Amino acid sequence: MRTTKGIIINSTGTMEHKTFTALKDYQEGVKGLIEAVRLYNYSGEEVACMYVNEEGIMLSMPMNPYAGALSFMLGNTPHLCGNAIIVGKADDEGYDTDIPEWLAEFIKETCPEQLELGA
């Protein structure tokens, strides 16, 4: 796995920048097993990937309204529970890429509260 820059959107409405270097970093971010939620632009092209806890609903994790709204806006389900990690789409070798700058800026401008953690 390669080093990837992304953002964690916590179910509490806060966000934090984080660098991911291994599967365990993603699992710690969502507090369990990960499930990919692909994000698309209006032309149907994949633009990013969001990871959530695969068992978030079964574990009764709190709804994540901000991540759900972002997912819905970018062509996927609005029903997300627990923390969400957003990184860029996979490259030709299947590795995640850094979150696109435009998406990171959008989240920064619209997310209710930001934490000064990670990097």
Backbone angles phi, psi at 60, to 5 degrees: 55, 40
For residues 20-33, one letter each, b for 16 or more C-beta atoms within 10 angstroms of the residue's C-beta and e for the rest, the string is beeeebbbebbebe
Q: What mean pLDDT is predicted for residues 90-112?
A: 91
- Check whether 112 has a pLDDT greater than 90: no
- Check whether 118 has a pLDDT greater than 80: no
* pLDDT given for residue 115 in this prediction: 52
Higher pLDDT, 49 or 1: 49
Q: What whole-number distance in Å separates Cα of residue 1 and Cα of residue 96?
A: 9
Task: Note the Cα 114 to chain centre separation in Å.
Answer: 15
Distance between start and end Cα atoms, the chain? 17
* CA distance readout (Å), 97 to 47, 54, 86: 10, 21, 10
Using one digit for the tens of pLDDT, what is the confidence trace for 24-60? 999 999 999 999 999 999 899 999 999 999 999 999 9
* pLDDT given for residue 77 in this prediction: 83
| Cα dihedral across residues 89, 95, 96, 97: positive or negative | negative
- Check whether 93 has a pLDDT greater than 70: yes
